[in-house]
């Protein structure tokens, strides 16, 4: 049977864990709230970019085209910087490994997220470069990644660009998917005869980079939002468990103390009764 001293040590450890999980839960709540607002506002803009790209897919792909179809496939794997977010990272990386196993061409990999890079190094998966975005990623960070992709396209080092990221479904669920950055179906109608100022070629040329960066940035935001949601859910569960365990340990300690006090009272009463009988 555990002694009061041992139970107190356990209680002290659990209380420390409780404070840590509460702090992490609070930090994740703030970041999730900021990301959710940013993502909600940005999603509308990105949807317009996707629709525009679908309408003029051929024209946009004439600006960014692959001149070497036999080159490796470029994969951008977007995960989390931290590891305390449940199965968020493991599901994504297992999904990506299954893609690599079925891939016939060589792979040109960009690692996005500290845990993604750590996993690749542990597994011996070679990758070209590691981009570790902020917990709340900036548009400028994604723009730098896209500029490097453009250079690879021009040099004929890649034949396509696929983004592997956790799609944000809701706060409790994120599912890994793959998205072809330059492969959206051109199924949207042209809806009339729009006027381009000064001309169509200039508008397409100037808008093309912004559209593709916006699509990529939205995926990065989605991964960041999912990571914070998973962290918040995990820390909330850990905090609740710590609180329950604290109550359980305190109850055990109080019961042991109560039993000791009761035993002492009975012993004193017995001694007092014996003296009175004498």
CA distance 200 to 255: 81
Q: Confirm whether 177 is domain-assigned.
A: yes
Strand locations in the chain (E): 73-78, 107-112, 129-131, 160-170, 173-180
Q: Confirm whether 60 is domain-assigned.
A: yes
| Domain total of the chain | 1
Q: Confirm whether 135 is domain-assigned.
A: yes
Q: Confirm whether 258 is domain-assigned.
A: no
Other C-beta atoms closer than 10 Å to the C-beta of 32 total: 23
CA distance 54 to 215: 12
Helix (H, G, I), strand (E, B) or coil at 163: strand
Domain range for 65 is 52-233
Q: Confirm whether 26 is domain-assigned.
A: no
pLDDT in tens, the chain (278 residues): 568 788 888 889 888 989 988 998 898 899 999 999 999 999 889 988 888 888 888 888 888 888 888 899 999 999 998 877 878 999 999 999 999 999 888 899 999 999 999 999 999 999 998 999 998 999 999 999 999 999 999 899 999 999 999 999 888 889 999 999 887 655 554 556 777 788 888 888 888 889 999 999 999 999 999 999 999 998 998 899 999 999 998 888 888 888 777 776 677 666 666 655 55
Helix (H, G, I), strand (E, B) or coil at 201: helix
Phi, psi of 11 (to 5 degrees): -65, -40
CATH number of domain containing 142: 3.40.1380.10
Query: Which neighbouring-strand residues pair with 130?
Result: 111
Q: Which of 192, 154, 196, 193 is nearest to 66 (CA)?
A: 154
**Interval 147-156: pLDDT, tens:** 999 999 989 9
First to last CA, the chain: 38
Q: Confirm whether 207 is domain-assigned.
A: yes
Tell me how long the chain is.
278
**Interval 146-186: pLDDT, tens:** 999 999 998 999 999 999 999 998 888 899 999 998 876 55
Q: Confirm whether 255 is domain-assigned.
A: no
* Residue 115 token pair: 């845990």
Nearest 5°: the CA angle 4, 9, 14 is 120
Q: Confirm whether 270 is domain-assigned.
A: no
Strand locations in 132-270 (E): 160-170, 173-180
Beta pairing, strands 160-170 & 173-180: antiparallel
């Amino acid at each position: 049977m555990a002694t009061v001293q041992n139970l107190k040590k356990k209680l002290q450890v659990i209380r420390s864990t409780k404070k840590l999980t509460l702090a992490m839960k609070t930090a994740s709540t703030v970041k999730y709230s900021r990301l959710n607002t940013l993502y909600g506002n940005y999603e509308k803009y990105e949807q317009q970019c996707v629709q525009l790209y679908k309408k003029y897919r051929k024209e946009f792909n004439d600006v960014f085209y692959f001149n070497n179809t036999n080159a490796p496939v470029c994969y951008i794997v977007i995960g989390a910087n931290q590891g305390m977010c449940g199965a968020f990272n493991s599901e994504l990386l297992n999904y990506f490994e299954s893609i690599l196993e079925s891939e016939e061409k060589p792979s040109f990999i960009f690692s996005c997220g500290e845990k993604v890079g750590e996993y690749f190094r542990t597994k011996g998966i070679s990758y070209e470069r590691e981009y570790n975005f902020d917990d709340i990623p900036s548009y400028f960070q994604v723009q730098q990644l896209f500029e490097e992709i453009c250079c690879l396209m021009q040099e004929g080092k890649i034949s396509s660009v696929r983004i592997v990221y956790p799609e944000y479904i809701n706060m409790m669920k994120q599912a890994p998917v793959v998205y072809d950055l330059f492969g959206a179906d051109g199924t949207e109608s042209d809806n009339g005869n729009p006027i381009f100022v000064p001309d169509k070629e200039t508008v397409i040329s100037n808008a093309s980079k912004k559209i593709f960066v916006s699509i990529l940035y939205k995926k990065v935001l989605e991964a960041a939002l999912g990571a914070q949601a998973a962290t918040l859910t995990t820390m909330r569960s850990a905090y609740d468990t710590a609180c329950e365990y604290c109550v359980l340990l305190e109850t055990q300690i109080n019961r042991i103390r109560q039993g000791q006090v009761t035993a002492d009272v009975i012993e004193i009463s017995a001694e007092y009764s014996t003296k009175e009988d004498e």
